[in-house]
């Protein structure tokens, strides 16, 4: 049985008839977060350590402090920012381990289901456009969305309340 051939029926506690637009997050919702967590917490520190002649734990500690300083901002997910800051080709490093990108079980089933209902389905992500391109290339989720919006397009990180006001105007929902 293929993943999208499930016999499990989804019975939500709400009526889909009342919903016109569905907004979905990508990392940790549709895709397993292991790729991102491993990349930033292990792989980048290892490469940074080798490049800068540091012990891996030193590099990890240094990088985690730097990450924390830009959490909840567009810089946090901006691959160009991190490439410049760290002197590493971050998009290329992501491609080296893109085999770790995985769609959560039953995501495709859900996306097929929600599309058969005729809903507007939007992917709304903090992921940088270069990260998004890598993940869409490695998965089959792209065609299921009416629109895909990165936080950089909105001009704010999703953690900022103004993001949602701007998104509402962009999508007219």
Phi then psi dihedrals of residue 96, to 5 deg: -60, -30
Question: Is 89 tagged catalytic?
Answer: no
Q: Which one, of 86, 75, 91, lies nearest residue 157 by Cα?
A: 75
Answer yes or no: do 108 and 91 share one domain: no
Judged by DSSP in three states, 133 sits in helix
Residue 126 located in a structural domain? yes
Distance of alpha carbon 6 from alpha carbon 107, whole angstroms: 11
Q: Report how many domains make up the chain.
A: 2
Residue 77 located in a structural domain? yes
Q: What is the pLDDT of residue 173?
A: 82
Answer yes or no: do 91 and 121 share one domain: no
Answer yes or no: do 166 and 110 share one domain: yes
- Of the candidates 18, 37, 65, 98, the residue annotated as catalytic is 18
Residue 59 located in a structural domain? yes
Residue 2 located in a structural domain? no
Distance of alpha carbon 124 from alpha carbon 147, whole angstroms: 8
Q: 99, 127, 153 — which closes off a domain?
A: 99
Answer yes or no: do 95 and 111 share one domain: no
Answer yes or no: do 27 and 45 share one domain: no
Structural domain for 139, as ranges: 16-32+103-171
Count of CB atoms situated within 10 Å of the CB of 111: 22
Answer yes or no: do 74 and 91 share one domain: yes
Residue 5 located in a structural domain? no
Residue 133 located in a structural domain? yes
Per-residue pLDDT of the chain (173 residues; tens, 9 = 90+): 455 555 677 677 888 899 999 999 999 999 999 999 999 999 999 999 999 999 999 999 999 999 999 999 999 999 999 999 999 999 999 999 999 999 999 999 999 999 999 999 999 999 999 999 999 999 999 999 999 999 999 999 999 999 999 999 999 88
Q: What is the pLDDT of residue 105?
A: 96
Return contacts of 133-137, CB within 8 angstroms, 24+ apart: 134/91, 134/94, 134/95, 134/98, 134/101, 135/26, 135/31, 135/101, 137/98
Tokens of 63: 């990088």
Answer yes or no: do 114 and 74 share one domain: no
Answer yes or no: do 62 and 72 share one domain: yes
């Amino acid at each position: 049985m293929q993943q999208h051939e499930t016999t499990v029926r989804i019975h939500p506690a709400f009526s889909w008839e009342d919903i016109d637009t569905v907004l979905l997050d990508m990392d940790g919702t549709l895709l397993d977060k292991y790729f991102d967590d491993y990349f930033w917490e292990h792989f980048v520190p290892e490469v940074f350590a080798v490049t800068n002649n540091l012990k891996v734990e030193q590099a990890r500690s240094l990088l985690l402090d730097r990450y924390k300083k830009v959490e909840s901002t567009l810089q946090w997910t901006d691959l160009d920012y991190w490439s410049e800051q760290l002197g590493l080709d971050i998009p290329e490093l992501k491609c080296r381990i893109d085999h770790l990108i995985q769609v959560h079980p039953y995501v495709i089933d859900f996306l097929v289901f929600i599309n058969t209902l005729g809903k507007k389905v939007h992917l709304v992500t903090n992921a940088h456009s270069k990260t998004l391109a890598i993940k869409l290339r490695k998965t089959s989720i792209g065609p299921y969305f009416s629109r895909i919006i990165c936080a950089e397009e909105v001009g704010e990180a999703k953690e900022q309340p103004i993001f949602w006001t701007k998104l509402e105007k962009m999508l007219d929902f």
